[in-house]
């Protein structure tokens, strides 16, 4: 019997847990960015400046983490081993 392909099981198992984790991080950070921006606008209109500032800070931090995760993903994809 002929072997058609050699499977790197360690790499396969690493992919099984890292892909869902990366998808979860990207999804949650983008959702927090949208949530923070929307709530900041609502709070500002209602005159709650402290809450608006806190939600705005949440949106900025979430956007930074989202952007960093996307850049990190692109760097991993384009890197050559």
Q: Is residue 10 part of a domain?
A: no
Decide which of 79 and 59 is more confident.
59
1-27 residue pLDDT tens: 676 677 778 888 888 998 999 999 999
Q: Would you state the pLDDT for residue 81?
A: 67
Neighbours of 60 (CB within 10 A): 14
Q: Would you state the pLDDT for residue 11?
A: 81
Q: Is residue 41 part of a domain?
A: yes
Q: Is residue 35 part of a domain?
A: yes
- Placement of tokens 């608006």 in the chain: 52
Domain of 43, in residue numbers:
19-78
Q: Is residue 4 part of a domain?
A: no
Q: Is residue 8 part of a domain?
A: no
Copy the structure tokens of residue 2.
């002929």
Q: Is residue 24 part of a domain?
A: yes
Would you tell me the crossing angle of helices 9-45 and 49-78 to the nearest 10 degrees?
A: 160
Number of domain units in the chain: 1
37-62 residue pLDDT tens: 999 999 999 999 999 999 999 999 99
Q: Is residue 46 part of a domain?
A: yes
């Amino acid at each position: 019997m002929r072997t058609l392909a050699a499977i790197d099981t360690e790499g396969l198992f690493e992919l099984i847990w890292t892909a869902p984790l990366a998808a979860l991080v990207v999804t949650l950070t983008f959702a927090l960015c949208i949530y923070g921006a929307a709530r900041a606008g609502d709070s500002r209109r209602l005159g709650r400046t402290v809450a608006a500032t806190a939600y705005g800070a949440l949106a900025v931090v979430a956007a930074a983490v989202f952007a960093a995760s996307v850049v990190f993903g692109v760097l991993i994809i384009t890197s050559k081993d």
